[in-house]
Amino acid sequence: MPTDRVLFFSEPFPDAPVARLAAFGEAVVGTEGVRGADFAALAPRIEALMTVVADKIDPARLASLPRLRVVANIAVGYDNIDLAACASRGVIVTNTADAPAEATADLTLALLLDVARRVSESDRYLRAGRWVGWTPTLMLGTCVHRMTLGIVGLGRIGRGVARRARGFGMQVLYTQRNPLSAAEERELGVSYRSLDALLPACDAVSLHVPLTPETSGLMNAARFASMKKGAFFVNTTRGKTVDEAALVASLASGHLGGAGLDVFVDEPQVPAPLLAMENVVLCPHIGSADRATRGQMAARAIENVVRVMRGEPPLDAVSLPV
């Protein structure tokens, strides 16, 4: 193997088959992603880079990686990577599109159930010693089986959410750029609406779109205002798809009934008003935080790298050299 070639795996992942990389050079697992001293010292020798969502790969970072051939992002989204800059430098970019879908769909339903039935709020209430006995009005919530759920973006995760929602007896509406065929809609049990028609028709809305220039701030003040009074909002995609100030204002006014949020605009910072709201359930970007899922994501990224190092097409290319 070339002893001067480094294949850099950004951060430790459970059950990651990093040993597969040793056939192609020195496999190094970082501790602080591309922000750490270990990365900086090895950058001139790195030919393959396996990144996480916190790793920003921009022109300045690429300039420090003269031998880079592939960036394998261990995520569905790749908004942390400048695709045009990579393509112009002859760098392949891949993602792990399939692996996180089921785990993230699970979390989406968990957030909706939690905020609608006030589970986390009840837990805090009990632990604080405030419970003095059963009453018929204590912690009244909303049953999800009576809801109409709107899914914005019916990709792998959105479809997983739709299947779960149908299992709860929910009516499911969806919107995306290209509607499904009638047969696909029947199979999933979903009905298409435009975004602006979907929002006022739903008791809960779940966001599942990639972060692009078109989707940045997609959920803004006007769209939150168009939702039903008392509706719930769930976001497990990217924080910047939402106008966070508009979301806070809609929750504070009482127009929205609550929110379940796994992602934020300026992670790991969370707006102070959200932290203070009882009707908001907050998670620290754990959509794919299932041990088996994280292992599958790591294995998929490594497989993409192995194929590139062998001179073969990767499984999950999102950007190829120009």
> Is 267 in the active site?
yes
Q: Kindly tell me the burial class for residue 12, based on how many C-beta atoms sit within 10 Å of its own C-beta (0-12, 13-18, 19 or more).
A: exposed
Burial 43-74 (b: 16+ CB within 10 A, else e): bebbbbbbbbbbbebeeebbeebeebbbbbbb
Among residues 89, 193, 255, 285, the one annotated as catalytic is 285
223, two tokens: 């769209």
CA distance 227 to 256: 8
219-223 contacts at long range (C-beta below 8 A, 24 or more positions apart)? 219/243, 219/246, 219/247, 220/246, 221/246, 221/249, 221/250, 223/195, 223/196, 223/199
Q: Judge whether 303 counts as a catalytic residue.
A: no
Please pick, among 26, 32, 185, 267, the residue that the annotation labels catalytic. Answer: 267
Q: Is 186 exposed, middle or buried (0-12, 13-18, 19+ CB in 10 A)?
A: exposed
- Catalytic residue, chosen from 69, 223, 238, 294, is 238
For residue 10, give the nearest of 60, 55, 43 by alpha carbon: 55
The end-to-end CA distance of the chain, in Å, is 28
Nearest to 159 by CA among 174, 140, 142, 181: 174
3-class SS of residue 318: strand
Distance between CA 7 and CA 18 in Å, rounded? 10
Buried b (16+ CB within 10 A) or exposed e, 244-274: bebbbbbbeeeebbbbbbbbbbeeeebeeeb
Question: Does residue 5 have an active-site annotation?
Answer: no
Q: Which residues are catalytic?
A: 238, 267, 285
